Amino acid sequence: MPAVSAVVTGAAGGLGAAITRRLHADGHAVALADVDGNGARELATALDATGRTARGYATDVADRSALTELLDAVLADLGPVEVLVNNAARTRATPLFEITPEELDEVMSVNFTGTFQACQVFGAHMAERSYGRIVNVASLAGQNGGTATGGHYASSKGAVMSATKVFARELAPRGVTVNAVSPGPQDSPVVRDIVGEENLESFQRAIPVGRLGDPAFIADVVSLLASPGAHSVTGACWDVNGGLHMR
């Protein structure tokens, strides 16, 4: 059984899958948590058919009890958790005044509440062991108010960045760092669907570097923040947005 493990939420596809593959390549045993349990298990099997270094779990991060059950399962299956990547998110591009209370709750419960609760559940576990790395996936939308995504998505990601600082301050004395990565538009099915293939060329021209981001590079950034050598980086937000937001 591996000595330590990394948990990635929203791991069944897209950016979460890229991050999971990178952490597994780094030598972590990976726990793939996703509301799409079948997708998480399929990717886990592709990474390690034996299940010794990769396991998939059906998990709704909006449900705190599901997160505590996830921690218990990972401890039993893969060992103590030293890395948590909060990537699970719902992306919606609904016009601002058409967002219903139900859709607002749906987006916030996953993007913000899910991240906050996971930081509580896994952060407490890491603090008990005096070591841990938490990386929250924020978004350019949370910094500039969003352009292609909905106002609820942008608001949830802004809240994630604030929560990152709150947990970083609380957990720093216990050997746990908490950071955020803030991607701009990535070359992913979600972005292509929101923008539309017919608008993609003009959309990319509006990005200073002239191209969409690479999810594999975001995974590289997460890997660096999740490494033992990143002990002096906490409460930070690393921007990877092609120059769309400079500070």
The SS3 of residue 85 is strand
Structure tokens at 177: 């760092």
**What CATH number does the domain containing 225 carry?**
3.40.50.720
Determine contact, residues 137/151, Cβ cutoff 8 Å.
no
User: Per the domain annotation, does 246 fall within a domain?
Assistant: no
Q: Is residue 140 part of a domain?
A: yes
Torsional class of 214: left (φ above 0), alpha (ψ -120 to 50), beta (otherwise)? beta
The catalytic residue among 57, 112, 153, 167 is 153
In-domain check, residue 24: yes
20-64 confidence digits (pLDDT tens): 999 999 999 999 999 999 999 999 999 999 999 999 999 999 999
Q: What is the mean pLDDT of residues 166-193?
A: 93
Percent of the chain with pLDDT over 70: 99
What is the total count of domains within the chain? 1
Q: Is 153 a catalytic residue?
A: yes
Residue range of the domain that includes 29: 5-240
User: Quick check: is 247 in a domain?
Assistant: no
Band (pLDDT 50/70/90 cuts) for residue 199 is confident
Predicted model pTM: 0.95
94 φψ region: left (φ > 0), alpha (ψ -120 to 50), beta (else): beta
Tokens of 5: 């493990």
